[in-house]
Structure 1
Amino acid sequence: MATSAAVEDSEYRWHYNLEATLFSHSHNNAFPSRLGQFLHPTRATLALKDRTRDEEFLWKSRDHRKNRHVKYTPKQDRSRRGKNPLVGIGHMTRLEYWNVSWWVATTFTLGSIIWVVNGFYSFLPFVDTSFGTSISGIGWSAWTGATIFEVGSILGVLEAWNRGETASFGWGIRHALGYENIIQPNGNGVDSIALGSEGKEGNLKDRHKWIWFPSDPKYWHELGFLAAFTQFWAATIFWISGFTALPSIQDSITTRKGVLDGVFWTPQVVGGTGFIISSSLLLLETQRRWYLPNPESLGWQIGIWNFIGAIGFTLCGALGYAAQASTKAAYQSSLSTFWGGWAFLIGSVLQWYESVNSV
């Protein structure tokens, strides 16, 4: 009886529209049944209703949110599928201004580069005395990096809200299977073979107005949104430490340890912890079971590098409490920023690659 109830609940939690020729089954996420019933599926199998054809396709929530089912660029009709890694890297030279996932990835890449620069400013004086400590360089790079991360986090929330309502696989597979209709949110069917001026993706992308502040509670059951929402608040809190790192503010609080701990180090610890939670949710979104890593998944690799970066930023703040009293703590705090920034950069570049290559 318990198994049956879980299956029925899983069917209920599937809330995407499907093409008229498809049905979904085998919905699941990485969590045990009780927690799993609260969350929407992160993967499902889509199959043809035509029993004479046995094609089935694996739908993944991350691929859906990241627009990886869009096979061709709008209007230009250029293929987005990288036949090999080198072709995929070449796609990174494209400006996919229409793709919010591209904006998310490139924004975090830029922010991560700034944090790597900040890491050099912070750490080099410890390993080479010829490099003097630059309060100005550290402060302004920290503020710039934190601000860019905040912008990226806002874009991440918008990405989760505007992930599309129709589970799809792009024009290439539809055309190969001879699909004729797609169910739009308003229930109307459209001819998927009659390609308009918008190109091969044309009418196949479900149309909806851009969502700024939705009231639909369904998003609170989606791991992708929960991760983005957590990241937004983490970045917002973390930004406080970027602001208080500005040279004029640092000069006024450096000698006041209680204030320094409260407005500079603590936001790093709290914000970094939020980044850890966010990246953990993104890791779990790509896994079949909560205890089974999925290193073969590109999304999982992005999540693990962001997780490492989040640990580095958290340790920077935690060790910073003792930085004035201990040279070793100051050394490790700066070092944590250095390797944490590099980890975020690796994760962001991989996310950039992901955003411009379809599955």
Structure 2
Amino acid sequence: MDFSIASILTLDGLTNGAIYALLALATVLVFAVTRVIFIPQGEFVAFAALTVGMFQLGKVPGTVWFLLLMAALAALLDLVEGLRARRTPAQLARTLVRTLALPVVASGLSIWLAPRQPGLLVQALLTLALVTPMGGLIYRLAYRSLAGASVLVLLIVSVGVHFALTGIGLVVFGAEGFRNPSFWEERFNLGPLGFSGQTLIIFAASIALIVSLFLFFERSLYGKALRATAVNRLGARLMGISSETAGSLSFTMAAFIGALSGLLIGPTTTVFYDSGFLIGLKGFVAAVFAGLASYPLAAVGAVGVGLLESFGSFWASAYKEVIVFTSILPVLLWRSLRDPHSDEE
């Protein structure tokens, strides 16, 4: 291996690491706030990439019908809960509007614009509007009633949600894969390195989102509420912070991050209905490197995973996935010896 090959592999590893960093941050966020090890994080990636692919064909993506179904089920649960709590009609109406407004508007725009094949940027915005609400709806349907359950129970539910979303992805998108057009087709050369405009967009979007998350948690009231919930859920509830709102917000943010990752990775690889699992699992490996607790360490771990995958594919391409996932074993062993726990938590 010479310097030029090492440079190319490093660039490829950093590009993939930027995507894994976003998924790792989302995994840490959800676990810190809700104690949910969110296995289906990668499904948002696949759903977003495949939704853009359907828009490219001028078809209404199956994401629309899945989103409307989830919104209808969530609205029905909210209505039943409101009636049992004897809420006023005005309160019930406000609750239903909060649940249905964004899904209905995003779905209506998608049904109207899809046959007209709008530009790629409009398709990306529609995709974000369709996939982002899924996070809060999944929390409402699958996790909110189990908020006090053990981590093991929540993990089992996450596995079930993953299989359900994978099956739904096969039904609404089919088995065919999509590789979307780049947002920037320009090519650049820097010595032995040749990289595309899409690579620059991946780096810029990842850095911008990481900075935005930092400012959100440091400066905004909602961000501070999520931090408080992550540090001490009981104390946050005693201070008037709704754990349900915090959980829904964290899942919504995770869905947005996953959808953005899908938009970024779609032009670089062919995405199938089940591709999200491996992509999300690599983000999870990076989050484990950080102990599911530290955002900076999760980002660093993601870069390490990307580099390990890139160089591993050069030396032993058939075993690159094995190399990446095996790397988690010494980390788990080290953390187990360094910080043993006598109970589940």
TM-score by length of 1: 0.24
More helix by percentage:
2
* Structure ranking higher in strand proportion: 1
Higher relative contact order (CA 8 A, sep 6+): 2
TM-score for both structures, normalised by structure 2? 0.25
Structure number with larger C-alpha Rg = 1
